[in-house]
Amino acid sequence: QVTLKESGPALVKPTQTLTLTCTFSGFSLSTSGKRVSWIRQPPGKALEWLARIDWNDDKFYSTSLKTRLTISKDTSKNQVVLTMTDMDPVDTATYYCAHFTGTGFDYWGQGTLVTVSS
């Protein structure tokens, strides 16, 4: 059974760096073909794909946010970490991590709401 859960601060100040952790079970990111993505959703708005990391440590980023994002994995802990620099109030959103099959996001975490405010 695949499960994912996001964790991180609920509140960050403008200009700070956000660090989110996705802890998962039911698969290993050392297994060929496994991938995890981060997706966010501002309150009342649409989903936005942010980044992806693959079993072979390949990393991919949203074109519009790539300068601010870093994704990494700790295979031994079954964790994926996303950092986003220079946070702004417009980055207020629920951040989800999801297992990615290669053609769809089939398992999602419950999401974690991050508010950016001074």
Residues that bind another protein (CB under 8 A): 37, 39, 45-49, 52, 60-64, 96, 101, 103-106, 108-111
Of the pair 11, 47, the CB lying nearest another protein is at: 47
Q: How far is the CB of 10 from another protein (least distance, A)?
A: 16
Question: CA 42 → CA 2, 22, 45, 95, 115, distances in Å?
Answer: 25, 19, 5, 9, 10
Min dist CB 77 to another protein, Å, is 22
Distances (CA, A) of 75 to 22, 23, 34, 55, 113: 12, 10, 11, 9, 25
Report the distance separating Cα 14 and Cα 54, nearest Å.
30
Q: Which is nearer to another protein, 55 or 60 (CB)?
A: 60
Distance from C-alpha of 1 to C-alpha of 27, rounded to nearest angstrom: 8
Q: How far is the CB of 104 from another protein (least distance, A)?
A: 3
Least Cβ distance, residue 61 to another protein (angstroms): 8
Of 67 and 76, which CB lies nearer to another protein in the complex structure? 67
